[in-house]
Chain A
Amino acid sequence: MKLYFYGAPTNRVDLDNSYGRIKRLLRQTGAELTASTERLETTMTKEELEKLKKAGEIALDKMDAFIIEGSEADAQAGYLLAFAVARQKPTLYLYERRGQLPVILKNLDKKSIPKTLEVKGYLKENLDEILQNFLRGLGSLKVEEVPNIKFTLRITKTIEKYLHYKTHNTDKSKADFIREEIDGKMKKDSKFWDWLKKQREN
């Protein structure tokens, strides 16, 4: 899967850090990433790009999904957003949730926003989660979710013994074991994924 990430060149260190964080997370999924921030980095080879050029095709058309950090949106961010809307490609438009909705988005009326476009205001704390949710919706990507929700669980003595039996002399904690068991069950539950998809679309 080919992902495209864009963040307008910036002098702000915090925003630049967010760009770095987004790129790291996208690379972790195993996707082929093209990222344009201060400079363009792409996994596409010169030969691939030359072939597209000769055929009259646009490299952006080869991307499967777009992630745009539009807190300091410039003309290129607008162009990419317009491109993604026109092609109805899955797109995540991110902006820092401390200011107003970016002006660029005010030019799109609700009726013409395609279902493929997600607009999300983010904080430093939930950036990973927003990205992971979006990436999970794309399927076929390896998205490692960070377990950051605290949950108190009362268990029986026998279950406790069972957890000890399964995890002692391994590098797994009891919590890891429980998480993996639930994760395995969840992955196989197609009804749950259909339900989740519907939830996200709404």
Chain B
Amino acid sequence: MALRKKICLLFAGGTIYPDNQGKWQVVKKESDINKWLSELPELRIVGEIEPVFLYGEDTGPITSQHWQVIAKAIIERYKHYDGFVLLHGLESFIYSAAAISLAFANLSKPIVITGSPLSHKKNERLADKAFKKYKSVGVRANLLNATQVALADVAETMALYGNGIFRAGALIRTGSEGNIIDSYADGKIGHIDFGIRFSGKVTVRSNRKLGYHAHYNPQVHMIEYHPGLSDDWLARQGRSIKGLIITVKTIDELSAKFRKQLLAVKRRGIIPVLYDRQARSSDDRQFLIVNDMTLEMTLVKLMWSLGQSKDYAKVSKLMRLPVAHEKINLKNV
């Protein structure tokens, strides 16, 4: 008899669901897992599930240290499982998905990130109403679908929410209650209707040498540039900052004075990144321009790049290098 496929289920928030008796189930501590899983017998049909507790639903704001904990948990168990499913809270879902996708290059098996759209802080009555209306996006549905995807012939870091399967590095958060997580066209790699369906452009399982870099430098700031604003604040950026993302409507709007101050910032060892999704080109001799990644990914990738080097040329090279299918077409969206 063929051995059952093994899935590592990592708990990092995003666990709230109402069981069949209408009682809310949540994993706040490791000892909650058995009860939580016992209400989901369907998972045992799909594969052998082995849970790993990383942190609970009540964990405060997610930081780069949490990303390191997740990545470490995966790399330590990488050889022993057919696929990984990470349960994660919605609030910082996109950032963590970007971080995990960058941590692993040349995957030979899937990592699927999913979770519950219900926050434990929310009023239970409202959560109940939302769950009844959008059963497809509840963690129970998401987890079953994610488990199935984790056994599929795909070798990428993906996010699964509702009926969408996305590249983890190309996510956006929408205002819609149904498709809470979405992505730009390039990032959508599959959907669920009568089953799991992938488009033809996914990377399939094969024996590749895994690349692993899970250090993130959190000393990054992000500011929004608007014409007419005082430029002095740029000069005041603290020395503790190693990277600075400036979002601009269009690069051409940058004043000469602002550019000059930006160069001064660069000389102080801070790496400035100009984020302009409509920029015609990312080639600029003075600055690093990003026009091919989501803003969330740009932030996380700068942290990740600075986790490997503080040298402008090296960071610039890493930022331009496609690592986890994060390079997408943002124009005309």
Binding site for B on A (CB under 8 A): 4, 34, 36, 40, 42, 49, 52-61, 75-76, 78-83, 85-88, 103-104, 107-109, 112
Q: Which residues of A contact B194 (CB under 8 A)?
A: 4, 34, 36, 40, 42, 59-60
Query: Besides the contacts A56-B164, A82-B144, what 19 more A-B pairs have beta carbons closer than 8 Å?
Result: A40-B194, A42-B194, A56-B134, A56-B136, A56-B161, A56-B163, A58-B145, A58-B162, A58-B163, A58-B192, A59-B194, A60-B193, A61-B135, A79-B46, A82-B148, A86-B141, A86-B144, A107-B44, A109-B41
The smallest C-beta distance from B42 to any residue of chain A, in angstroms, reads 4
- Which A residues are CB-close (under 8 A) to B195? 36, 60, 76, 79-80
Nearest CB in chain A to that of B45: its residue:
A82
| Bound form: Cα–Cα A80–B45 in Å | 10
Contact yes or no, B45 A57, CB < 8 A: no
Q: Once the chains are docked, how many angstroms separate the CA of A88 from the CA of B21?
A: 12
Known: A58-B141, A75-B151, A83-B144. Contact between A108 and B41, CB under 8 A? Answer: yes
Distance (Å) between the CB of B157 and the closest chain A CB?
A: 21
Counting chain B CB atoms within 10 Å of each CB, the highest count among A40, A60, A80 belongs to A60
Q: How far is the CA of A59 from the CA of B195 in the complex (A)?
A: 9
CB B187 to nearest CB in A, in angstroms, measures 16
Contact check: which of B42, B162, B177, B196 meets A86 at CB < 8 Å? Answer: B42
Please, how many residues of chain B have a CB less than 8 angstroms from a CB on the other chain? 35
Closest Cβ of chain A to B120, distance in Å, is 22
Within 8 A of A (CB), among B34-76: 40-46
Indicate whether A56 sits within 8 Å of B193 (C-beta atoms), given known contacts A83-B144, A107-B45, A108-B45.
no
Q: Lowest 9 CB-CB distances: which A-B pairs, in order?
A: A56-B178, A112-B41, A56-B162, A82-B42, A56-B179, A59-B193, A82-B45, A86-B42, A85-B42
Residues of A within 8 A of B196 (CB): 79
28 contacts between A and B (CB under 8 A): A34-B194, A40-B194, A52-B163, A53-B193, A55-B178, A56-B161, A56-B162, A56-B163, A56-B176, A57-B136, A58-B162, A58-B163, A59-B194, A60-B192, A61-B136, A78-B45, A78-B46, A79-B144, A81-B45, A83-B42, A86-B40, A86-B42, A86-B144, A87-B135, A103-B1, A104-B45, A107-B4, A108-B44
Question: Does B158 sit within 8 A of A, measured CB to CB?
Answer: no
B127-167 CB contacts (< 8 Å) to partner A: 134-137, 140-141, 144-145, 148, 151, 161-164
Selected from A56, A76, A85, A86, the residue in CB contact (under 8 A) with B180 is: A56
B76 CB → nearest A CB, Å:
27
Closest Cβ of chain A to B292, distance in Å, is 26
Chain A residue nearest to B178 (CB atoms) is: A56
Determine chain A's interface SS by DSSP, over half rule. helix
Contacts of B46 in A (CB 8 A): 78-79, 82
Q: Known contacts A40-B194, A83-B144, A86-B141: does B44 contact A57 (CB below 8 Å)?
A: no
Q: What residues on B are CB-neighbors of A83 within 8 Å?
A: 42, 144
Docked CA distance A60–B192 (Å): 9
In the assembled complex, the CB of A102 is this many whole angstroms from the nearest CB of chain B, namely: 11
Q: Determine whether B266 belongs to the interface, using a CB cutoff of 8 Å to chain A.
A: no
Within the assembled complex, what's the spacing in Å between the Cα atoms of A174 and B192? 53
**B20 on the A face (CB < 8 A):** yes
Q: Given the interface contacts A36-B195, A85-B41, A103-B1, does A79 sit within 8 Å of B178 by beta carbon?
A: no
Do B193 and A52 touch (CB < 8 A)? yes
